[in-house]
Structure 1
């Protein structure tokens, strides 16, 4: 099985597990939240609904990102994953806004019922399940270098935190501080908003071809400089493309070299970088004579 196929199958497997788990959790929390009169648990339930949507988006974007390059997309379709993850961020932000509004209006109304005991049980179950999903998803996401899965894992972790907030709010409300239940719903909305913002910030940076870590650039520089005939390296440009990088750089060689000799040095630089640096998709080497520097 090819590396791309293995990557897709691994992502698909964890996504299906997440989808089933989130569907059951969402149904459990929304129904119990409704019958137990818990604003916090209902908000947490809709957080799980947004988890379902995010998992579906991640599945689709990972599948589409595996589509081979074509004449209209010569570099391939790997950025589909970042685009899908950005859509996930929008869903999270919108979910947070609507849940926060409802919780705030409930607090203002003062008409707050004491939540039932089953709301506590549902919140505790959610904490355990979402933490397990986080650990499994982040492990697979890092193994296959999937930004979408890693974002989905952090979404699971934020859901675990929101369930903790719901548990505290419900518990406080049952002790007589009823305002704590809708207040916990407001906290849940804030947590969702925070995660949505952070995901959008990171994926937008990639979509705008933001520069990756400086350490990666220095690694590329050292590899290129190790090739005999290279007198200098400058203007290294590195951009993320899904799980991989595309490299552009310029090298300086002696003036008297023939075109063929300069080309051979450039090929050696390209092969050295691809063979010895992780996740390099393509390298473009521009050759300049020493006299112009």
Structure 2
């Protein structure tokens, strides 16, 4: 998929998410404060962090779609990983702030009974955020955007936190007022957990962790079946946003000429790119069989 088209699709999805999150966050925070639900207030601030994360995703994808230049010969795909990392940090900070506030309320015994309006707002939020998750994750997978997929999981975490807010408010209205702040604490812990998962995934990509063991094995099998390829030696994969870069060693017969060895290299590159469209560049090292055996 062309990068310009990819950015346009991401921009459309992100603006839809921004619009809905702004409305939901304002409604949840206002209703939570007016009708005394700590859980819904926590959920509202979670939605506010959604607004920030969507903006980061949009900006990082815009940067990542820029072509390679002299200072960035591999392109700008890492911008998505950086954006995803910032998203995880925002979630963690939001979760800890909400947890601290909720714990203080429980300790000081400032516990109120939420109004019935809290229940309806939580239900609406659950439905809207789950639909937004389904839409965003589908598009994210289609255009192979880790940042957009991470943002989709942020939407899902918001839906789950709304479920906790609903249970807490309903329990409080049924005679168990402690359930509302406890639900707020559960929401905060869940936000922290999701934030750490997103952060660790982004760190893995920034450190060039293997993006897919399964894909690496498929590439190795595919290349091994080519003519004049005795075996595939060392193989490495690294991700730059949606693009993959492959570095592998191919063992060939000793009697091949330099030209024939070059033809094998070109064939390996073409076959990998044909079967795996996300692969941007393939670096092939040609090793004669006798030299390979000596290593």
| Fold in common (TM above 0.5) | yes
Alpha-carbon distance between aligned partners in 1 of 2:125 and 2:136, rounded to the nearest angstrom: 16
Structure 1: 4+ residue segments shifted above 4 A: none
Please give the residue correspondences for 1:1-293 in structure 2 after superposition, counting only pairs within 5 Å. 3-292=2-291, 293=293
Note the residue ranges of structure 1 that are not aligned, 5 or more in a row: none
Alpha-carbon distance between aligned partners in 1 of 2:175 and 2:11, rounded to the nearest angstrom: 45
SS in 1 for 2:183: helix
SS in 1 for 2:194: helix
For residues 187-226 of structure 1, the C-alpha deviation after alignment (integer angstroms, 9 at most, x for no partner) is 1101111110111121111111111332211211122122
For residues 20-63 of structure 1, the C-alpha deviation after alignment (integer angstroms, 9 at most, x for no partner) is 10000010001111111111111000000000000000000111
For residues 104-137 of structure 1, the C-alpha deviation after alignment (integer angstroms, 9 at most, x for no partner) is 1111111212111211111111111101101111
**Displacement of 1:9:** 1.0
Alpha-carbon distance between aligned partners in 1 of 2:74 and 2:239, rounded to the nearest angstrom: 12
Alpha-carbon distance between aligned partners in 2 of 1:212 and 1:141, rounded to the nearest angstrom: 16
SS in 1 for 2:136: helix
**Displacement of 1:277:** 2.1
Note the residue ranges of structure 2 that are not aligned, 5 or more in a row: none
For residues 157-207 of structure 1, the C-alpha deviation after alignment (integer angstroms, 9 at most, x for no partner) is 110010010011011111221111111110110111111011112111111
CA RMSD of aligned residues (A): 1.1
SS in 2 for 1:92: helix
Deviates more, 1:273-282 or 1:41-50: 273-282
Alpha-carbon distance between aligned partners in 2 of 1:168 and 1:215, rounded to the nearest angstrom: 41
Deviates more, 1:61-70 or 1:216-225: 216-225
Alpha-carbon distance between aligned partners in 1 of 2:24 and 2:111, rounded to the nearest angstrom: 24
Aligned length: 292
TM-score, reference length from structure 2: 0.96
TM-score, reference length from structure 1: 0.97
**Displacement of 1:288:** 1.1
